[in-house]
A = this chain, B = another copy of it.
Amino acid sequence: MDQIPALDAADVRFDLTTDVVALGLGVAGASSVISASQSGAEVLAVERSVGPGGTSAQSGGLIYLGGGTDLQRACGFEDSPENMVAFLRAALGPDVDDDRIDAYCEGSTDHFDWLVSIGVPFRASFCDEPNRESADDAGLLFSGGEDTYPFDEIAVPVPRGHKPQCIDSAGGFLMERLGAGVSASGARVMADAAADALIMDSGEVVGVLVRTDEGPRAIRARGGVVLAAGGFINNESMVAEHCPLAHVPNPAWRIGTPHDDGRGIRLGAGAGAATTRLGSFECALPLGPPHAMARGILVNRHGQRFINEDTYTGRIGLHALRDQDGAVFMITDDVIHQRNPIGLRIGFAAATPEELATDLGIPPEALGRTVREYNEAAAVGEDPTFHKRAPFLQPIGVPPASGIGAIDLRVDRDAIYATFTLGGLVTDPDGAALDEHGQRIPGLYAAGRTAASLAAHHYASGISLGDGSFFGRRAGRHAATRARGNHS
B-contacting residues of A (Cβ < 8 Å)? 25, 47, 49-53, 57-60, 121, 123, 125, 127-129, 132-138, 165-169, 171-173, 175-176, 179-180, 182-183, 189, 191-192, 252-253, 255, 257-258, 284, 286, 288-289, 291-292, 339, 341-343, 416, 418
Residues of B within 8 A of A137 (CB): 252-253, 416
Residues of B within 8 A of A51 (CB): 25, 47, 49-53, 179, 189, 191
| CB–CB A183/B192 < 8 A | yes
Q: Which residue of B lies closest to A133 (CB)?
A: B168
Complex partner residue of A416 from B136, B179, B191, B258, CB under 8 angstroms: B136
Residues of B within 8 A of A172 (CB): 53, 57-59, 169, 171-172, 175
- Chain B proximity of A167: nearest CB distance (Å): 6
| A343 CA / B127 CA spacing, docked (Å) | 6
Complex partner residue of A252 from B49, B123, B176, B288, CB under 8 angstroms: B123
Q: Which residue of B lies closest to A141 (CB)?
A: B343
Q: Which residue of B lies closest to A134 (CB)?
A: B343
| A275 CA / B275 CA spacing, docked (Å) | 58
Q: Which residue of B lies closest to A284 (CB)?
A: B167
10 A-B pairs besides A49-B183, A168-B169 with CB distance below 8 A are: A49-B51, A51-B53, A51-B189, A57-B175, A58-B172, A121-B252, A288-B341, A289-B339, A291-B339, A291-B341
Q: Which residue of B lies closest to A132 (CB)?
A: B168
- Chain B proximity of A348: nearest CB distance (Å): 19
- Chain B proximity of A451: nearest CB distance (Å): 22
Chain A interface main SS type: loop
Q: Which residue of B lies closest to A255 (CB)?
A: B167
- Chain B proximity of A238: nearest CB distance (Å): 21
Residues of B within 8 A of A173 (CB): 58
Complex partner residue of A341 from B169, B255, B257, B292, CB under 8 angstroms: B292
Q: Which residue of B lies closest to A49 (CB)?
A: B179
| CB–CB B252/A342 < 8 A | no
| A451 CA / B441 CA spacing, docked (Å) | 53
Complex partner residue of A58 from B52, B166, B258, CB under 8 angstroms: B166
Residues of B within 8 A of A47 (CB): 51
Residues of B within 8 A of A180 (CB): 49-50, 258
Residues of B within 8 A of A179 (CB): 49-51, 53
Residues of B within 8 A of A291 (CB): 339, 341
